[in-house]
Amino acid sequence: MNLTKSDFTVARTCGAKLYYKKLHYPSLNDDNPYLEFLADGGYMVETMAKLLFADGKELGNWAEPDKAFEETRLLLEAGDGTFFEATVVHNGLLARIDILRRVGNTLQIIEVKSSSVDSEADGQNPFRGKKGGIPSEWRPYLEDVTFQTIVLGLAFPQFKVVPFLCVVDKAKSATANATYDKFRLRQINDGWRPEVDYDGNVDELRKSHVLAIIDVSGEVLELKANVESEAARFAATLQSNPISRIAPEIGKKCKRCEYRLPLGQTEKNGFHDCWGKLAEPAPHILDLFRVDMLGGKNNDLVAQFALQGKAKLSDVSTELLSGAFAPRQNLQLECSAAGRESMSPILKEILSSHPFPLHFIDFEGSRLAIPYHAGMRPYEQSSFQWSCHSILNSGGKIEHTEWLNTEDAFPNFAFAQTLKDQIGNGGTVYIWSHYEMDILREIRCQMDKYGHANAELAHWIDNPTTRGNPRVVDLCTLAQEHYFHPSMKGSVSIKYVLPSVWMADTNLRANPLFEKYVKTDSAGTLLNPYATLPPLPIGEEEEVVNEGTGAMRVYQEMMFGRAKNDEALRNGYKRLLLQYCELDTAAMVAIWMHWMNGAK
Ligand code: SF4
């Protein structure tokens, strides 16, 4: 078995994961919609990069690496050229290189990433911090290109190897030939990755794109010795049959391990293989809120507990808790032990002090490497939808309003204007986390940048986005400070808080506002409202949107994909988006009502 560059990157996060990856253990990353969404964006960036090289030749044969390497060898020996996805193998190491160029006696590696730099703001070298070191966020990418440089250098010692990273440059604006709609993903039946068709003017794209290709020879030189020895260590575990596993070092890092699947759900479970019996306690010590800070940032108390055979949440004593997260952690320990929810007595008092009307708002938007519209910069926000539930007065009517962009134009100013028209300047604005205010602040900056002159709108945005404005109340902060339910475990995400209050409060389920979300599964178990959103017929299939990534994907399909010129499909996608965003603000109202009703 060869060690590939992606194997190397995974093994750098934890050696034991290499074993699980090679043996195809089930992982939370399998069918992860967010990772798939990011990967799709990555394929588009890669396509843009390849289009910059008119002489590029795509190589294939993914299934037979030795044959693919032979093809690479023959092409490189034949003379200068540019090759996409060239395979290079040496002594159990395998590199598949995005763009490989032979220029005389030099081989250039161009590794394409959809991460971004800002060539105006980052200074001379974006891959170096203020003190000259390599920042942790760039290290995995630079180690990846170092790995390839090593393999290529070993396989072709007669050449000099020069490594480059090709990344997205946020200082550049997209022209009409460098926008999202020009790149169309196409699934190939027997392929493991989609192909991307380009539908713009290639000559114009080459003159004006949003990429930066940066020489990283210095960084690679610095990382080379370490990457070389680690690659050799990892590759050695793949040479035996069966392959061997690097001894797991269990600890707090395991909280976010992609192999931490619920026990009993799959035949193979990497987390269970690493932790053994210590994987089984429920609630588990890893469920503690901000367990990464338990005992201090640079201390791993979870690892120390595991050495003593302890992994229950209740093994954590309150004397160990300190710092800003201690009150929340204490509350979690206390309520988990008692199996009850907790609500501060002052929570209702706080909520009661907020003036009517109460507006519960939620936004949907995307931030893509290749922007939707010409003139936008990479990763600039596009806000395409809002939902608002309003309680007009105490015990009074609840109104739902919404807005979804359907015009093929930059949507943010219409987004802000329609929201302003809806919620005006009176009453209270409830949000869940700071996301909504961050988006409004960004739109305010875009007004200046794009010359959108509208003093009234600018003034309106300046008001709620002024930090400390009492009109805006973050329910997530209130949840963190005043509310806990054992089923939330260590999370204050609305996706955890809603199901907790939903299961706890029969009054909510009896409220006509939430009637459509009261459903049970075939065994009669009450469903989480997010699981009740009905799939809708889209063409010949049925689809459902119940998380933010799905909303972004469906919006793109509606605006730029197969639904662009198909009214029926478009309407189907619109309904999917509207029903999802409506539930997010209905969820906030449900939580607010539960808090006003008091703990059960
Ligand atoms: S459970 Fe922990 S030790 Fe095991 S693979 Fe995951 S991160 Fe590594």
pLDDT at 60 over 80: no
What's residue 189's pLDDT?
Answer: 64
Least confident of 185-199, 335-349, 430-444: 185-199
What whole-number distance in Å separates Cα of residue 15 and Cα of residue 382? 39
Nearest atom within ligand 1 for CA of residue 17: 5
- Residue identifier of the C-alpha nearest atom 4 of ligand 1: 274
pLDDT at 285 over 90: yes
Pick the more confident residue, 367 or 539.
Answer: 367
pLDDT at 259 over 60: yes
Domains of the chain listed by start with CATH number: 40-234 (no CATH), 252-343 (no CATH), 345-600 (3.30.420)
At residue 350, what are phi and psi to the nearest 5 degrees?
Answer: -60, -50
The structure tokens 């008091």 sit at: 598
pLDDT digits (tens, 9 = 90+) for 326-365: 999 999 999 999 888 999 989 999 999 999 999 999 999 9
Q: Ligand 1 pocket test: which of 250, 255, 273, 280 has the largest number of ligand atoms within 8 Å of its C-beta? A: 250
What's residue 521's pLDDT?
Answer: 92
- DSSP symbols for 461-516: HHHHHSTT-TTEEEHHHHHHHHEE-GGGTT---HHHHHHHHHHH-HHHHHSGGGGG
Pick the more confident residue, 566 or 69.
Answer: 69
Q: Ligand 1 pocket test: which of 10, 13, 17, 252 has the largest number of ligand atoms within 8 Å of its C-beta? A: 17
What's residue 413's pLDDT?
Answer: 97
Residue 598 — very low, low, confident or very high, per pLDDT cuts 50/70/90?
A: confident
Most confident stretch, 163-172, 536-545, 591-600:
163-172
**What is the 124 CA–ligand 1 centroid distance (Å)?**
38
Helix H or strand E encompassing 368: none
Query: In the chain, what is the straight-line distance between the N-terminal and C-terminal CA atoms, in Å?
Result: 57
Instruction: Report the DSSP pairing between strands 428-431 and 472-474.
Output: parallel
Nearest atom within ligand 1 for CA of residue 20: 5
- Percent of the chain whose pLDDT exceeds 90: 79
Least confident of 153-162, 246-255, 523-532: 523-532
What's residue 567's pLDDT?
Answer: 86
- Residues flanking ligand 1, CB < 6 Å: 14, 16-17, 248-250, 253-254, 257, 259, 270-271, 274
Residue 34 — very low, low, confident or very high, per pLDDT cuts 50/70/90?
A: confident
pLDDT at 171 over 70: yes
pLDDT at 218 over 60: yes
**What is the 166 CA–ligand 1 centroid distance (Å)?**
31
What's residue 539's pLDDT?
Answer: 67
**What is the 298 CA–ligand 1 centroid distance (Å)?**
18
Q: Ligand 1 pocket test: which of 7, 10, 12, 14 has the largest number of ligand atoms within 8 Å of its C-beta? A: 14
Least confident of 54-68, 228-242, 575-589: 54-68
**What is the 567 CA–ligand 1 centroid distance (Å)?**
48
pLDDT at 600 over 70: no
**What is the 222 CA–ligand 1 centroid distance (Å)?**
28
| Chain centroid, CA 227 distance in Å | 27
Q: Ligand 1 pocket test: which of 237, 246, 271, 292 has the largest number of ligand atoms within 8 Å of its C-beta? A: 271
Nearest atom within ligand 1 for CA of residue 274: 4
Nearest atom within ligand 1 for CA of residue 260: 1
pLDDT at 192 over 80: no
What whole-number distance in Å separates Cα of residue 363 and Cα of residue 469? 20
What whole-number distance in Å separates Cα of residue 593 and Cα of residue 352? 11
Most confident stretch, 61-75, 268-282, 555-569:
268-282
What whole-number distance in Å separates Cα of residue 516 and Cα of residue 509? 9
Structure tokens at 106: 């030099």
**What is the 274 CA–ligand 1 centroid distance (Å)?**
6
What's residue 250's pLDDT?
Answer: 97
- Residue identifier of the C-alpha nearest atom 7 of ligand 1: 254
Residue 536 — very low, low, confident or very high, per pLDDT cuts 50/70/90?
A: confident
Answer yes or no: are the C-beta atoms of 362 and 386 closer than 8 Å: yes
Answer yes or no: are the C-beta atoms of 47 and 198 closer than 8 Å: yes
**What is the 276 CA–ligand 1 centroid distance (Å)?**
11
Least confident of 3-12, 80-89, 151-160, 262-271: 262-271
- Residue identifier of the C-alpha nearest atom 6 of ligand 1: 257
Least confident of 44-48, 257-261, 421-425, 594-598: 594-598
**What is the 258 CA–ligand 1 centroid distance (Å)?**
8
Nearest atom within ligand 1 for CA of residue 16: 5
**What is the 45 CA–ligand 1 centroid distance (Å)?**
31
pLDDT digits (tens, 9 = 90+) for 289-299: 999 999 888 99
pLDDT at 438 over 90: yes
Residue 577 — very low, low, confident or very high, per pLDDT cuts 50/70/90?
A: very high
What whole-number distance in Å separates Cα of residue 417 and Cα of residue 89? 57
- Percent of the chain whose pLDDT exceeds 70: 98
Nearest atom within ligand 1 for CA of residue 248: 3
Map 94-143 to HEC letters. Answer: EEEEEEEEEECCEEEEEEEEEEEECCCCCCCCCCCCCCCCCCCCCHHHHH
What's residue 36's pLDDT?
Answer: 82
